[in-house]
Structure 1
């Protein structure tokens, strides 16, 4: 009888696993390499930052503000990962990236591209009232074993242009609808330079879930994500997000990670970490 029950439980658990795919993700504004940051320069924090990402064993992580040499450094550290993305200034290697790193032992990229947050998204351009070029990089990923497919979009909104932030939100939602004809699971990560109550975030939240709001486990860590390298002050401004499609992704855990070393943060933003379940 015990053997029979064990077999039933085994079959039950197998069916649950077959119907869903667990995924760990992170979004992280790593702060561009600015020589004026003095003790917070990239050279002083890159090792701890990469160790932090590695410790959480994420499957996929999106970064913002990475310059080419910063992306190259992370690429050299994470040997089992590949990345997609280009520099926003020339569509190649110049300017900040919105890179998506992924564990290549688990996933492969079916298609990927980068578009500009502007009226002409297929051209290198500054949109609306933005202060500079802004981009969104996306990839269609497939799990090597289960063959489950899903989209990941990673972006960095302008910090000045009010119209640009709203139009950028609308553009990304339009792109998701245009690309995702099969209604596959979608994850949107990034630094949106906006608090939750603002119109662009509310616009996105009508179509996608804010992962913090639907986490099955109580969200862990500070409420805010922007620390400005100010270690001794509360982190209250929440401007970094991970959004998920509403009908086929559930969020198991959500956390804002405030790890530090010698009373210093590894970036002026805290990374957001989630563990999600993608439903088949």
Structure 2
């Protein structure tokens, strides 16, 4: 599962984190993903999810300092099912090993990754989670190229790969086309048709259909059984976040 949870913004009025967080945690518990990545989570949000989901642990750092400051692209995993063998974070820039802003991006952008081993099994999988810049067109394209380069460097044993995130890119854009030259859009290879709206971004707007797809899950060496955009709501029919979570089931 990939989920942009919307950062804790005190100006969000009726969409404040404090009004959304209980329902968001309940959604995660209801769907019970073995592994999921979030985008835009600040430390208090990352810790809230960690506390409320009892069997999960997470990897990741804040993008502003490589520690606790700024938004995380945290990856959570069910500790009863998986253990993490290695993990790190790199910045989407020409200097990926240090805190930096890349190309024409407006902000620091990161990709967090981990190598996960399934318990009671020899099966292992690489998982990458990212959030592309909303301004820099060049940055988005270069970020795709950098992530693919990192995957190639790390995945020397040709293990299965999952790449997820908010890519701020439509399906016909260059960043997505670059990924699809090396990875598979899980929606396109799913054994079943998409469940939920076609789009993933709602902007907290409950009045109009969602047709803007900018959140994706890409895979390599995996069989995708289902692909879903989860349109669960608060009790007042407001959205839980300004993005829908994307969830796949795989073999």
Place the TM-score, normalised by the shorter chain, in its bin: over 0.9
User: Equivalent residue for 1:77?
Assistant: 52
Counterparts of 1:177-196 in structure 2, within 5 Å, are: 177-196=152-171
Look at both structures and tell me which one has the larger radius of gyration over its CA atoms.
1
What is the CA-CA distance between 1:144 and the residue it aligns to? 0.9
User: Equivalent residue for 1:254?
Assistant: 227
Higher helix share goes to which structure?
Answer: 1
TM-score normalised by L of structure 1: 0.89
What is the CA-CA distance between 1:147 and the residue it aligns to? 2.1
Counterpart check, 1:172 vs 2:147: yes
User: Equivalent residue for 1:49?
Assistant: 24
Aligned length: 250
Structure 1: 4+ residue segments shifted above 6 A: none
CA–CA distance in 1 between the matches of 2:118 and 2:187? 25
User: Equivalent residue for 1:242?
Assistant: 217
TM-score normalised by L of structure 2: 0.99
> Residue 238 of structure 2: which of 239, 249, 264 is its match?
264
User: Equivalent residue for 1:27?
Assistant: 2
CA–CA distance in 1 between the matches of 2:110 and 2:180? 20
Q: Secondary structure at the match of 1:159?
A: coil
CA–CA distance in 1 between the matches of 2:122 and 2:55? 19
Unmatched tracts of structure 2, length 5 or more: none
CA–CA distance in 1 between the matches of 2:37 and 2:101? 22
Q: Secondary structure at the match of 1:249?
A: coil
Unmatched tracts of structure 1, length 5 or more: 1-25
> Residue 129 of structure 2: which of 147, 154, 163 is its match?
154
What is the CA-CA distance between 1:79 and the residue it aligns to? 1.1
What is the CA-CA distance between 1:28 and the residue it aligns to? 0.2
Q: Superposition RMSD on alpha carbons, in Å?
A: 0.5
User: Equivalent residue for 2:199?
Assistant: 224
User: Equivalent residue for 2:73?
Assistant: 98
CA–CA distance in 2 between the matches of 1:159 and 1:147? 39
Deviation digits for residues 25-77 of structure 1 (CA, Å, limit 9, x no counterpart): x1000000001100100000000011011101110000000000000000001
CA–CA distance in 1 between the matches of 2:29 and 2:145? 33
Deviation digits for residues 156-208 of structure 1 (CA, Å, limit 9, x no counterpart): 00000000000000000000000000000000000000000001100001110
